[in-house]
Amino acid sequence: MTIRTAFFHAGSLALFTAALAGAAPRAQTDTPAEKQYKNIKVFTGSPAKEILPAMNAMTAALGVKCTFCHAQDDKGQWQFEKDTEKKDTAREMVTMMRKINSDNFQGNMTVTCATCHQGHSSPNRFAPLGQPPASERPTATTGSAIPTADSLVDKYMQAIGGPVAVAKIQTLDMKADAQFDTTPAKVEIISKAPGKVLNTMMFGPATYVRGYDGAVAWGKDAGNPAVADESASEIAFYSPYSYLSPRSFYTSFQRVRKDTLDGKDVYVVGAQSKFDNLRQRLYFDVNTGLLVRVWTATNTLVGAVPGTEDYSDYRDVNGVKIPFKVVDTTGEGVNTFTFTTVTPNADVPDSKFARPKG
């Protein structure tokens, strides 16, 4: 996993944003991709902040890493702008995919890279043999035996300490030991209501930063003086700490079904995000009422990217239960965050989250 790919997941994890005070997402100016990156062709005119999610969708769909298409010099430095044969092929495939969807599905992103590749670099032309019949997923259930979505959210809020206790936490300074597949890192996440976050990730001497001031999301990588646009929705809603105020992040809670997760009974609630490019399901433990998983599908320029975040080791912080272990699973691997310290209500100035010049 590359550093920037790691930040797509872990940097997203950091953005606590409006969880503390329920701030609504605000628009930011979209820099065109060709203004921020070099040698952009098929994605000309698309927002620069959508390029990294699209790249991650491709790597997950093909089961490859960035090196599959992109070149590095003899010192290991990326040369993303350099053309390669596989990069040209990817451009042709994106053009073909767009035409298929335009001609057959009213332009909807129905056919994606994953439709044919299914985790392989080359599409499989043959149907698999000897596959057991697929088990049906439990359907949405209604009736007195199944609680409503709203009641499950209310039970959950009481389980973590209640809305009054949550409202008392105005800032959080969180430090974690992280593991991206086999790559260790140190992470610090500083969050402030009503939606300001600074995430610093250290891979040895290399430091990478992602920030959000409540309106503009930005990123800065080690060795690169440029400040890049980032996707606010990615940052905000991949955060496990958005759970502190779920009613601030979702416009509605929908169907409920009962399922099992790791041998335990859970209620699965569909959640409508305030961001159009996200679809989510919330998994609540039947007995404790705590949130144990969030499943997310993030729509990108080339299709949706699924991922899960599993929460455990809940501990009391200033009267609020917070998970000290988060396991993030994507098409590219498993990332584990073990929080070592969580400090509430530190004095943090707003200027700390502002986008740097450059």
Q: What is the pTM of this model?
A: 0.77
Q: Is 232 helix (H, G, I), strand (E, B) or coil?
A: helix
85's tokens: 């044969």
Q: Same domain for 59 and 192?
A: no
Provide the 3-class DSSP secondary structure of residue 184. Answer: strand
Count of structural domains within the chain: 2
Measured on CA atoms in the order 203, 171, 291, 272, is the torsion positive or negative? negative
Asked if residue 133 is part of any domain, the answer here is no
d(CA 312, CA 327): 9
Across 315-336, average pLDDT:
90
What would the mean pLDDT of 257-271 be, rounded to a whole number?
94
* 105 in the same domain as 57: yes
Which pLDDT value is given to residue 357? 82
Per-residue pLDDT, 22: 35
At 145-158, the pLDDT tens digits run: 889 999 999 999 99
Q: Is residue 53 part of a domain?
A: yes
Q: Select the more confidently predicted residue: 84 or 243.
A: 84
88-102, 130-144, 153-167, 243-257: segment of lowest average pLDDT: 130-144
131 within some domain: no
- Average of per-residue pLDDT across 301-329: 91
Instruction: Say if residue 229 is in the same domain as residue 181.
Output: yes
Structure tokens at 171: 């800032």
Tokens of 135: 């088990």
Whether residue 27 is contained in a domain is answered as no
Q: Which residue has the higher pLDDT, 225 or 143?
A: 225
Asked whether the predicted pLDDT for residue 232 surpasses 60, the reply is yes
pLDDT of res. 202: 92
In 3-state terms the chain splits into helix, strand, coil percentages (rounded to 5) of: 25, 35, 40
Q: Are 168 and 318 in contact (CB under 8 A)?
A: yes
203 assigned to some structural domain:
yes
Per-residue pLDDT, averaged over 236-253, amounts to 71
Count Cα atoms within 13 angstroms, Cβ side, for 99: 7
Distance of alpha carbon 236 from alpha carbon 13, whole angstroms:
8
Same domain as 310, residue 243: yes
**Does residue 343 lie in a domain region?**
yes
Give dist(CA 60, CA 50) in Å, integer: 16
Residue 87 covered by a domain = yes
Same domain flag for 16 and 46: no
pLDDT of 197 reads 84
Read off the pLDDT band of 137 (50, 70, 90): low
> Rounded to 10 degrees, what is the CA torsion of 94, 98, 104, 107?
140
Strand partners, 237: none
Question: Which of the listed ranges 44-48, 90-94, 118-122 does the model predict with the highest average pLDDT?
Answer: 90-94
The residue with greater pLDDT, 248 or 22, is 248
- pLDDT (mean) for 122-142: 70
Q: Give the end of a domain, one of 86, 117, 148.
A: 117
Question: What pLDDT shows up at residue 150?
Answer: 94
Q: What are the tens digits of pLDDT across the range 321-330?
A: 999 999 988 8
* 195 and 219 inside one domain: yes
What average pLDDT does range 132-146 have in this prediction? 64
pLDDT bin (cut points 50, 70, 90) of residue 142 is low
In order of 53, 94, 99, 123, 323, the CA distances from 109 in angstroms are 15, 11, 11, 18, 35
* 278 and 163, same domain (yes or no): yes
Residues 213 and 309 in one domain: yes
Q: Please tell me which residue, 354 or 132, carries the higher pLDDT value.
A: 354
188 and 99: one domain? no
Higher pLDDT, 49 or 175: 175
- Please give the average per-residue pLDDT across 69-86, as a whole number: 86
309 and 330 belong to one structural domain: yes
Same domain, 222 and 271: yes
Name every residue whose Cβ is closer than 8 Å to that of residue 44 and which is 6 or more positions away in sequence: 32, 33, 34
| Residue 358 belongs to some domain of the structure | no
pLDDT value of position 141: 56
Q: Is 215's pLDDT higher than 80?
A: yes
| 173 and 58 in a common domain | no
Mean pLDDT, range 23-45, rounded to an integer: 73
Between residues 176 and 273, the one the model is more confident about = 176
Domain range for 224 = 9-21+139-353
CATH code, domain with 197: 2.50.20.10
Strand partners, 309: 294, 328
